[in-house]
C-alpha cells in the first residue's frame, strides 16, 4: 500500500471563506474528505496535515523520509518565498507533487515564481480541489513505474538463447 502525505500550507485552513471567487466555496474539511474518499478507493494510506508555519512544514517534509513514498504539497504563499521548503524536498528526496487550487500563472506576477516547481515531480495548478486527486493519481503512477523499473533492473539478465545447429544427416 502506498503511503502518501498531503500537506497544506498557510491560510488554506480558511478555504470556504477566503477569496471565494479565486479559491471556491469548499472548506478545507470538504477538500480533505474528498482526498480521504479517493485514497480509500485507490487503497492509498493517506495522511493529511495543514500548517500556517513554514518551519512546521519543513519538519513534516524532513520526517517524511522513510515514512512516506510520496508527498503532495500546496505550499500556498510559501511557494513564492520558501527556499527552506525547497531545500527540505531536495534533502529527503521523497517524490513530491506541487498543487495549487488557482492557476498561479494567470495571477499576479509575484505568484508566477515557484521555488518548489524546480524540485517537484510535477506542478498542478488551476483545477481547484480536483488538483489534489490528480496529483495523487500521477504520483501513484510514477511510483508504480519506478518500482517496476527497479524490479526489472534487479532481476539477473537472461542470456541470449543458444543458436541451434541443424543436423544434415
Ligand atoms: C495557492 C496560490 C498561492 O499563490 C497563494 O498564496 C495561496 C494558495 C493556490 O492554491 O492557488 O495561498 O497556493
This prediction has a pTM of: 0.91
pLDDT digits (tens, 9 = 90+) for 144-159: 999 998 988 876 656 5
* Protein residue closest via CA to atom 7 of ligand 1: 76
Ligand 1 lined by 13 (C-beta under 6 Å):
no
**Distance between Cα 90 and ligand 1 center (Å):** 21
Per-residue pLDDT at 102 exceeds 70: yes
Ligand 1 lined by 111 (C-beta under 6 Å):
yes
Q: Spot the catalytic one: 100, 105, 132, 142.
A: 100
pLDDT digits (tens, 9 = 90+) for 117-144: 999 999 999 999 999 999 999 999 999 9
Q: Look up residue 86 and give its three cell numbers.
A: 525547497
Position 159 scores a pLDDT of: 58
Q: Is 80 annotated as catalytic?
A: no
Q: Is 100 annotated as catalytic?
A: yes
> Edge to edge, what strands does the sheet with 45-50 contain?
45-50, 3-8, 70-74, 96-100, 122-125
Amino acid at each position: 500500500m502506498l503511503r502518501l502525505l498531503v500537506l497544506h500550507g498557510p491560510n488554506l485552513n480558511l478555504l470556504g471563506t477566503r477569496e471565494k471567487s479565486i479559491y471556491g466555496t469548499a472548506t478545507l474539511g470538504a477538500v480533505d474528505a474528498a482526498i480521504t474518499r479517493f485514497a480509500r478507493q485507490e487503497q492509498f494510506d493517506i495522511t493529511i496535515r495543514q500548517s500556517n508555519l513554514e518551519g512546521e512544514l519543513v519538519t513534516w517534509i524532513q520526517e517524511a523520509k522513510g515514512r512516506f513514498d510520496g508527498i503532495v504539497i500546496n505550499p500556498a504563499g510559501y511557494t513564492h518565498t520558501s527556499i527552506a521548503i525547497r531545500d527540505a524536498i531536495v534533502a529527503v528526496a521523497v517524490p513530491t507533487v506541487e498543487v495549487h487550487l488557482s492557476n498561479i500563472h494567470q495571477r499576479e506576477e509575484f505568484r508566477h515564481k515557484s521555488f518548489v516547481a524546480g524540485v517537484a515531480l510535477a506542478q498542478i495548478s488551476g483545477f481547484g480541489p480536483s488538483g489534489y486527486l490528480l496529483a495523487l493519481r500521477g504520483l501513484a503512477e510514477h511510483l508504480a513505474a519506478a518500482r517496476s523499473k527497479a524490479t526489472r533492473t534487479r532481476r539477473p539478465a537472461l542470456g541470449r538463447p543458444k543458436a541451434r545447429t541443424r543436423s544434415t544427416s
